[in-house]
Structure 1
């Protein structure tokens, strides 16, 4: 479009009207179809070499008693009497069914025009189909492209590696794959997905899987060794004449064969990504290839293609599975404040679509930029070795874990250790399930994760619950009944994941975890906070607004908790200090003797009905309502005495604990504005930027022993 303006083919006014300067005709440029038409008009002249004098926009076509309007007609002669090419333009978001309807509409125009139209081009900008027309035989034959000016015969393909369009007239134009922006790529992904399931033959989930496979093939086609001048395999080719149904079927089958071969080659490198074969018909493969064939996924900007895939993927998974992925700004904040380098072992125990892993990889890529020139073997090795050997993820949902792997591949890496498994299994079980020995306890430098909230693990369903200390009922140090440790029937997943992350971390390793605020505030979860206090140096608590996860479908008030794991000896030392304080307090107050004395005293009072007047037999009196009410009063009186004593002892314990346990600063922050609102729309203020700068400095100080 910019070249069209530069070459004075079109002009766009401040009122957003487009003028075709040669014809002196203008239209409303806000119309999406008009935008596509303007792009095609400029390409016909600048790319295909047709003289502007032989091109007309908005050509009237008489069809019976009505008059229609063809978008563009290219003529063979200067008088514009011999139509050569007819172009039908549709907006980018047109459905597959509407696109097919546009093809039929274009043909009706071609047949209605006087003299013979030779070629038809139907385009939505993200999808193009080309046909040769034989009005006398009433046939249409698919082509790889329209012929440039002065060309009569076309090769069977259009996209060739290392090719630049030539200005040489009378020669076919070949094209290398094009770089597209985020919006364009997002539309292609969505339109391709819709084309797969809208007809009802596949459900949205199956369509997503099959589209993933074809994106995988597309990436592999771009990566495989290929000399300049060689056509790509992932494109529509015409090896057979399509003037009849048999020719169409042969071309479709040949395309499927090429795609299947790409799939087989790619799976030898990444066998864990897809375990089943492509399950699409040749016709559906042809449809998807039509949307993706001209795009270069390898050269399109990393952030753009990553966001495009995540936008498409996120909208699908929210609708299909109710999955709530961590917003990018929260992920970026967490990863940016941590001192992750290419030497770090990094894990996400609930990785979802891989957002935390991708940002960690991006951080190491930026680190590589500081040392090496982009594109050099050293630069590639710096970040790629990290991705291949040190970046790990676990996701319980197989389809989402496969998507996380695809997400990594789209971001130029296919070797990330992402597995589909229950993240609460032991390291041995995870290793056995995945054949990956990297999933081992006391191994990781950083764990960055947002575990599932609100669900529970039941002892009757998951036997491993008994292996977690948080899977056992908490026994208060003031309990003298010696009831013993008992298994819990259930435990919240977010609580168990805190302990599992501790298992996986090295001593001095960092955990950054999104947690519901209840873990920080609910009195019933004091035992969780006590355990965290023994196992970790608490680094920071950053409170997120209530709306932080609203746009992704979750409304739980959350915070990000940053922790640094103590080594086992320090955890034992802290635990022993707390036990010694508890023992000393109980001894000083003769706690157990006092409780036993009160219990004996209460029993004697109740036995003899001491302190209450009654007449008649004691045994008979104990059956009266008066006795029962009095007994309840006595029980309540002693219960209150015990409660008061326990409260006093707990207050004393907290004071002693505060005095004797290590005293260190904790970074506390409240983020009220985080760059987007409850709907996910961008806003001007993101306090996480300022908080992140200060927190990164604080963590650096902790590492250097300053805090």
Structure 2
């Protein structure tokens, strides 16, 4: 019998080990292209060829050529450019040197003048953008496009110094001004979102802005990017809550002065909406020429409903760049946070805190977890959690009354406050305090400037103290934290407050690791029966010299679980091997109901992360789409891929009910269209396999742990 294929295998075979992909093209475009491919036998090899529409001759298909040929068809079909306005390998003169641009579209009225230059040769954006810039400057072309078939970028050459992001290139019947002056509603932004359509991250865009203008702008990069993200969030919120409103965080043909005035006005409104992040007199410090480039870079991304890791990754980069990582405070990857939240299962009536908050990932994801429970109880769809939509009263009550966060780094606190202010609709309990040095809190909270920003949250927070005006012990139900590892505490005044400031022989130590003191301090925050997840260096569990720490923990609480994280988890910042310790504080109070009665012998859950989530350089590894493995699968005539699945000849990791929902792309996407990190910590929205969190929940039920009864 003849063999047939589900998806033309030669394209995926050619692209398999290259940096080029086909996700920028529609399935029907790819299928139509496949039908035109012919094979020639060359030296006992089957080599693919296609007739080039522009050059009118047969050419051999390489990964780059596949993307180029598909892009030519895209220019014709989607943008209506006729073949006669195109040229390939267009010569661009640089003195005596001649380079060749991949695709050139010529000006309608000046048929020999380049209008749009498309660069395919360079598979990485930075290289492609530099090449484009040189071509556009040399030819005077006002627009450039870079693509590797997966990501894509559109640029307007404002002048030789600045390449400005634009949403798209104009069609043959449009002008560049139509794109530059386009007015956007929130629904338009959803359709054009760069994070989804161009496969970019917020960090990528910040790096581009640094290359373009920020590195030489003479400003505090963290502050200025933070201001722009803050304004962007406000602009999206205003348009979601008034769907007829056009977005204002856009460069729509104003003069540079008009644009700066517009953005400053938006900033003033945002500061009023979300107090306590920027001072009332804070101003946009970017110059008139730099601001348009930065606005253009950010205007076509949608921050609400995006994967919060997008925001985290960007701010972790900025904070550590500005502080040079001296504090050793690296944000916890969201997938580690989600595992902790699933395993500790915070409830709507419980008080939650993070004592080393960073960007408040633990508290924000704790909030999302509880909101999902509320939605389920009310038979409402889960919906987008990081959303600009109005919140339910119960959702707001939980955020504003039950959730708290503390951090000693002022920049981290401001990022955390922003995310929590949004979740709490203008209220938050994120406080700028030194968690370990609680003896001096009274001095801090009496400072006028501190009171102006944090007093409302502080008033709620101190109600949870076990004793009035004593800030050693609190009554929290759930605590999750990733304390900084770097640096020892050497002040005897602080060490004297902690039992772990002494060695087993009872002598005071001269220096104690921050994370060691955080173990004891965090237990002080928990009420009896309260539970904690804390990220610690692996050595605390293994080193003989740290036995006194393990003895202290066992004396004060039940060890629920130890989860070893992969060595790449916190790369590229640090390769320190870490584990997450889960405990529940002993509680024998029969009147209150013994949440965790003392026991000398009990079972402990141990697990080790097998899938790294990141490669050795700290770049995330994403879940491959199981459906992609079927693209080249051979079937006999009349058979389908599902037949092969039933016969066991192909392995599909997905639950079968999800199979038809999977896109025909190389990687699996979540419900927001974002890539899913490849880890084994938990099942991601039913799209991946059960992991460590699900195994612990089964263990917790068997052990009859109070929070899973």
> TM-score, length-normalised on structure 2?
0.65
Q: Specify which of 97, 104, 109 is matched with residue 72 of structure 1.
A: 104
Q: Does 1:513 align with 2:525?
A: no
Corresponding residue for 1:562?
582
Q: Does 1:199 align with 2:243?
A: no
Q: SS at the partner of 2:216?
A: coil
C-alpha displacement of 1:447? 0.5
Q: Encode CA deviations 1:391-438: one digit per residue, 9 max, x unaligned.
A: 322222222333344566799977553333312133954765532224
Residues 205 and 297 of structure 2 are in contact (CA less than 8 Å); yes or no, is this contact kept in structure 1?
yes
Q: What is the alpha-carbon distance in structure 2 between the residues aligned to residue 516 and residue 150 of structure 1?
A: 61
**Greater mean deviation of Cα atoms: 61-70 or 515-524:** 61-70
Residues 164 and 296 of structure 2 are in contact (CA less than 8 Å); yes or no, is this contact kept in structure 1?
no
Give the 5 Å matches for 1:521-670: 525=546, 527-536=548-557, 538-544=558-564, 547=567, 549=569, 551-567=571-587, 662-670=599-607
Sort the Cα spacing of 1:508 and 1:143 in 2 relative to 1 into closer, same or farther, 3 A.
closer
Residues 144 and 237 of structure 1 are in contact (CA less than 8 Å); yes or no, is this contact kept in structure 2?
no
Q: What is the alpha-carbon distance in structure 1 between the residues aligned to residue 319 and residue 87 of structure 2?
A: 45
Corresponding residue for 2:226?
212
Q: Does 1:121 align with 2:123?
A: no
Q: SS at the partner of 2:201?
A: helix
Q: What is the alpha-carbon distance in structure 2 between the residues aligned to residue 403 and residue 475 of structure 1?
A: 43
Considering only aligned residues, what root-mean-square deviation do their CA atoms show, in Å?
4.7
Residues 490 and 510 of structure 2 are in contact (CA less than 8 Å); yes or no, is this contact kept in structure 1?
yes
Corresponding residue for 2:297?
291
> Runs of 5+ in structure 1 lacking a partner?
111-118, 134-139, 165-173, 240-250, 477-485, 575-659
Corresponding residue for 1:500?
521
Q: Specify which of 402, 420, 428 is matched with residue 432 of structure 2.
A: 420
C-alpha displacement of 1:341? 2.9
Sort the Cα spacing of 1:228 and 1:269 in 2 relative to 1 into closer, same or farther, 3 A.
closer
Q: What is the alpha-carbon distance in structure 1 between the residues aligned to residue 96 and residue 704 of structure 2?
A: 83
Q: Does 1:86 align with 2:101?
A: no
Corresponding residue for 1:357?
363
Corresponding residue for 2:25?
2
**Greater relative contact order, per chain length (Cα 8 Å cut-off, separation 6+):** 2
Corresponding residue for 1:278?
284
Q: SS at the partner of 1:282?
A: coil
**Greater mean deviation of Cα atoms: 364-373 or 348-357:** 364-373
Sort the Cα spacing of 1:277 and 1:705 in 2 relative to 1 into closer, same or farther, 3 A.
closer
C-alpha displacement of 1:448? 0.9
Q: SS at the partner of 2:153?
A: coil
Sort the Cα spacing of 1:260 and 1:123 in 2 relative to 1 into closer, same or farther, 3 A.
farther
C-alpha displacement of 1:455? 2.8
C-alpha displacement of 1:230? 5.4
Residues 403 and 429 of structure 2 are in contact (CA less than 8 Å); yes or no, is this contact kept in structure 1?
yes
Q: What is the alpha-carbon distance in structure 1 between the residues aligned to residue 563 and residue 410 of structure 2?
A: 32
Sort the Cα spacing of 1:288 and 1:410 in 2 relative to 1 into closer, same or farther, 3 A.
farther
> TM-score, length-normalised on structure 1?
0.65
C-alpha displacement of 1:27? 7.8
Q: What is the alpha-carbon distance in structure 2 between the residues aligned to residue 144 and residue 387 of structure 1?
A: 36
Sort the Cα spacing of 1:405 and 1:162 in 2 relative to 1 into closer, same or farther, 3 A.
closer
Sort the Cα spacing of 1:670 and 1:699 in 2 relative to 1 into closer, same or farther, 3 A.
closer
Q: Encode CA deviations 1:345-384: one digit per residue, 9 max, x unaligned.
A: 2211112233323432342344355331255979755555
Residues 144 and 238 of structure 1 are in contact (CA less than 8 Å); yes or no, is this contact kept in structure 2?
no
Q: What is the alpha-carbon distance in structure 2 between the residues aligned to residue 327 and residue 359 of structure 1?
A: 12
Sort the Cα spacing of 1:397 and 1:43 in 2 relative to 1 into closer, same or farther, 3 A.
farther
Q: Encode CA deviations 1:283-323: one digit per residue, 9 max, x unaligned.
A: 1111111212223333xx532xx333334444555663154
Q: Which has the higher helix share?
A: 1
C-alpha displacement of 1:540? 2.0
Residues 157 and 235 of structure 1 are in contact (CA less than 8 Å); yes or no, is this contact kept in structure 2?
no
Q: What is the alpha-carbon distance in structure 1 between the residues aligned to residue 436 and residue 338 of structure 2?
A: 25
Sort the Cα spacing of 1:487 and 1:290 in 2 relative to 1 into closer, same or farther, 3 A.
same
Q: Specify which of 449, 452, 469 is matched with residue 481 of structure 2.
A: 449
Sort the Cα spacing of 1:221 and 1:498 in 2 relative to 1 into closer, same or farther, 3 A.
same
Residues 444 and 509 of structure 1 are in contact (CA less than 8 Å); yes or no, is this contact kept in structure 2?
yes
Sort the Cα spacing of 1:221 and 1:129 in 2 relative to 1 into closer, same or farther, 3 A.
same
Q: Encode CA deviations 1:190-211: one digit per residue, 9 max, x unaligned.
A: 2124434433735xxx323321
Q: SS at the partner of 2:271?
A: helix
Q: SS at the partner of 1:336?
A: helix
C-alpha displacement of 1:504? 1.7
Residues 92 and 135 of structure 2 are in contact (CA less than 8 Å); yes or no, is this contact kept in structure 1?
no
Give the 5 Å matches for 1:264-343: 264-275=268-279, 276-298=282-304, 302-303=306-307, 306-315=308-317, 320-321=324-325, 323-343=329-349
Q: What is the alpha-carbon distance in structure 1 between the residues aligned to residue 609 and residue 264 of structure 2?
A: 51
Q: Specify which of 154, 166, 185 is matched with residue 201 of structure 2.
A: 185
Q: SS at the partner of 1:258?
A: helix
Residues 33 and 70 of structure 2 are in contact (CA less than 8 Å); yes or no, is this contact kept in structure 1?
no
C-alpha displacement of 1:501? 1.3
Residues 157 and 231 of structure 1 are in contact (CA less than 8 Å); yes or no, is this contact kept in structure 2?
no
Q: What is the alpha-carbon distance in structure 2 between the residues aligned to residue 526 and residue 557 of structure 1?
A: 18
Q: SS at the partner of 1:201?
A: coil
C-alpha displacement of 1:87? 0.7
Q: SS at the partner of 1:359?
A: helix
Q: SS at the partner of 1:260?
A: helix
Residues 605 and 699 of structure 2 are in contact (CA less than 8 Å); yes or no, is this contact kept in structure 1?
no
Residues 54 and 87 of structure 2 are in contact (CA less than 8 Å); yes or no, is this contact kept in structure 1?
no
Q: What is the alpha-carbon distance in structure 1 between the residues aligned to residue 512 and residue 115 of structure 2?
A: 67
> Runs of 5+ in structure 2 lacking a partner?
1-23, 40-46, 147-151, 466-473, 624-677, 683-689
Q: Specify which of 259, 263, 267 is matched with residue 259 of structure 1.
A: 263
Residues 159 and 177 of structure 1 are in contact (CA less than 8 Å); yes or no, is this contact kept in structure 2?
no
Give the 5 Å matches for 1:388-399: 388-399=400-411
Sort the Cα spacing of 1:150 and 1:326 in 2 relative to 1 into closer, same or farther, 3 A.
closer
Sort the Cα spacing of 1:10 and 1:83 in 2 relative to 1 into closer, same or farther, 3 A.
farther
Q: What is the alpha-carbon distance in structure 2 between the residues aligned to residue 109 and residue 27 of structure 1?
A: 29
Corresponding residue for 1:114?
none
Aligned length: 560
Q: What is the alpha-carbon distance in structure 2 between the residues aligned to residue 105 and residue 702 of structure 1?
A: 68
Q: Encode CA deviations 1:666-698: one digit per residue, 9 max, x unaligned.
A: 314142625447725659884775543232233
Q: What is the alpha-carbon distance in structure 2 between the residues aligned to residue 99 and residue 517 of structure 1?
A: 42
Sort the Cα spacing of 1:292 and 1:520 in 2 relative to 1 into closer, same or farther, 3 A.
closer
Residues 444 and 505 of structure 1 are in contact (CA less than 8 Å); yes or no, is this contact kept in structure 2?
yes
Sort the Cα spacing of 1:22 and 1:308 in 2 relative to 1 into closer, same or farther, 3 A.
same
C-alpha displacement of 1:255? 1.2
